Every structure is written in C-alpha cells, then in structure tokens.
Amino acid sequence: MVKRFGLNFLVLIASFLLVLALTEIVLRCTIYNLKNYVQSPGPDAVYVIETAEFKTKIKTNSLNMRDGEILSKAPGEYRILCLGDSFTFGLGVNIPETYPKVAEKILRESGYRASVINGGTQGNVEDAIQFLIEKGLRFKPDLAALQIYIGNDFYDELRHENKNAGRAEEPIRRNIFLDAKRVLKGIRLRTLEFFWTRLVQIRWIDDILFRFDLRYDNRGIFLRTYPPLEKKLVTEELTGLEKIRSLCEKEGVSLVFLLVPAKQQVFKKHLLNNDKYDYKKPNRILKDFCAGYSIPCIDFLEIYETLPDETVRGFYYNQDQHWTVRGHAQAGETLAEFIREHAKPSF
C-alpha cells in the first residue's frame, strides 16, 4: 500500500512538473517572448534593439543622442527640444517615425522654419534634468516639450535614488511576505508570473498585498489614498519638474508637458476606476502642477478617450508598452498642431 502510494505520488509530481514545463515553454514562446532592451554603447554607435514585436536599428550622434548632429541655430529658426524617456527616444520605431521627427516634418511641410531635436534619454525626470543642463540648453531651444510616461516615471525615482551615491539606501525591510516575494521574483518563472497577474485583479488579494506593502507593479500610483511611498514619489517627481521649469524659465525657454498614459489606464481602466483606485489621479496631479505655472499640458489620455478603442489599440504594441508607428504619428501630429496654434514659429 505504502509503495503504491509512493509511486502514485511520484507520478503526480512528474505530471505536474511536465505540465509546468510545457506551460512555461508555451508562455515564453508567445506572451513572454520578450528580450531585454540593449543600452547604447555610447556616441557614434550603431546597434539593434529587437523584441518579438519589432526590430529597430539605433544610430547615435557624437553626443550619444538618437538624432543627427546638432548644428548651430540658424537665424529665424524655431527650435523645439523634446525631452523624455524611451517614448521620446523612439523605442520600437525608426528615427523618422519618432514623434519629434513626425512633428518636424509636418511643420516644415507647412512652411515653418522649425527643427525638432530628439532628446530622449531612456530615463526619468532626473535624467531629463541632467540632459538639459549638460547638453539641451546649449542647443538654444525656443520650446522644450517634456514627455512623461505615467506607467513608470514616478517609480523610476527609486531607481535614481539607488544609483545616487550621495544618498544612503533605505534598509531592506524583512518579513516572511517580502522574503517570499524576493524568492519568487528571482525564480523568474513565466507561469507563476502569468497566474500572478490574474490573481492580483481579485480585490481581496489586492487589498492584502497593499496591506503588507507588497507592491507587484506600479498600480499604487493610481490609489485614491496614497501610502507613504507613493506620497514620497509624487513629491520627488514634482520637485524634479520644478527644477526643469526653473531651468527653462531662466533661459527663456517655453515649456509644454506631454503626458503619455500607461496601457492599463487606457485598456484596463475598469480595474482602476472604483472606490480604491482612480486611473486619472497621476495625470490630474501633473496637470495641477502645470496649471499652477501656466504651463500648457497635452494629456494623451484625454485625447485617447475621444477616439474609438480600436484606433487607440493601434497606438501601442500588444506586448510591449511603447508606441507603434501609428502611436508616434498621432503624437507628432498633436505636437505639431499645438506648436502651430500656440508657439507660432515664424515662416
């Protein structure tokens, strides 16, 4: 009896592992067929970023920017500097398809003597500040367009803090729940990740996770009542934006904000629109900041909600978080229209 039970138990374990292995293979070949983004090797480089959904050739100039060489500003030229992360950088599209170059093409075809510089840094607000100080202001822009991605810009402040040698990192919090989270994260099983993303959509599980401070993604920024971490991140984000505003004001550079929504704000807002979550809250915080300084703000979430769902789905890759060619085209058209109506560059 014991021997038979042991044999059946081994068969059960073997069957479970086989199903787990097959599920893992299927997920890695389909939903999670992703590759890590390649970082720039430096100035004057040519390299390729490839995922399951796109293959993009990247070429950097002598300043390690994804643009041509930046020439001296010509008389009568209206110059726009686009600041931002990988959306501005144009991850997933070729350089002529990025929204800065789409806007530039539209303006020039309309007769404007305008140039749009791609200052995308694949980083956050702190990276934009550094770029602005070290390079951007030297280009003598008339307008700076600051793109902010709601999906991770707030939480990228944590990454920047950890890289800042001048600050002591916070001690690692220890409890059984956090230890389990670290172990599971280190395993990197896509099967667990797949089921986890479904489980966290259940309200009572979501409540437990936040009760024990087990943030599983960036959803905390949409909470109606912020825990201490989110309060801190919002404060740091606004502090960084104030630095950019001050730098631009000092140099006589006009400023416009471009708010890019996370995919969950657009396609899963039914999960973030209840008594616990408010999917528009981070956008509202940033727009209130802009209103306080009379800074124009283009909120793409507002624009997307006026368009058919099928149209907006074409703006993002299915798996990747970034804009497709169509997404960049729409953003470039929107920016060009804003410049024509408000900035009024000369012919």
Q: List pLDDT tens digits, range 290-302.
A: 999 999 999 999 9
Above pLDDT 70, what percent of the chain?
77
Candidates 3, 156, 146, 22; CA nearest to 87 is 146
Whole-number pLDDT of residue 150 = 95
On the CB side of 345, how many CA atoms lie within 13 Å of its CA? 28
The region of weakest confidence among 4-18, 155-169, 313-327 is: 155-169
Report whether 145 contacts 83 (CB < 8 A).
Answer: yes
94 vs 192, higher pLDDT: 94
Distance, CA of 329 to CA of 315 (rounded, Å): 9
pLDDT tens, position by position, 78-104: 999 999 999 999 999 999 999 999 999
| One CATH from 3.40.50.300, 3.30.70.240, 3.40.50.261, 3.40.50.1110 for 79-159+225-343 | 3.40.50.1110
Whole-number pLDDT of residue 125 = 84
Average pLDDT over residues 248-271: 95
Read off the tokens for 311: 């149209």
Read off the tokens for 153: 């810009």
Whole-number pLDDT of residue 42 = 79
Domain chopping of the chain, boundaries: 1-30, 79-159+225-343, 174-205
Whole-number pLDDT of residue 166 = 44
When pLDDT is cut at 50, 70 and 90, the band that residue 65 belongs to is very high
Average pLDDT over residues 125-147: 94
Does residue 162 have a pLDDT over 90? no
Report whether 172 contacts 108 (CB < 8 A).
Answer: no
When pLDDT is cut at 50, 70 and 90, the band that residue 11 belongs to is confident
Distance, CA of 113 to CA of 56 (rounded, Å): 29
* Identity at 6, one-letter amino acid code: G
Average pLDDT over residues 142-164: 80
Provide the sign of the torsion angle of the four alpha carbons 117, 121, 127, 133, taken in this order: negative
CA angle 282-283-288, nearest 5°? 100
103 vs 45, higher pLDDT: 103
DSSP code for 223: B
Report whether 62 contacts 115 (CB < 8 A).
Answer: no
Does residue 213 have a pLDDT over 80? no
Above pLDDT 90, what percent of the chain?
57
Distance, CA of 303 to CA of 42 (rounded, Å): 36
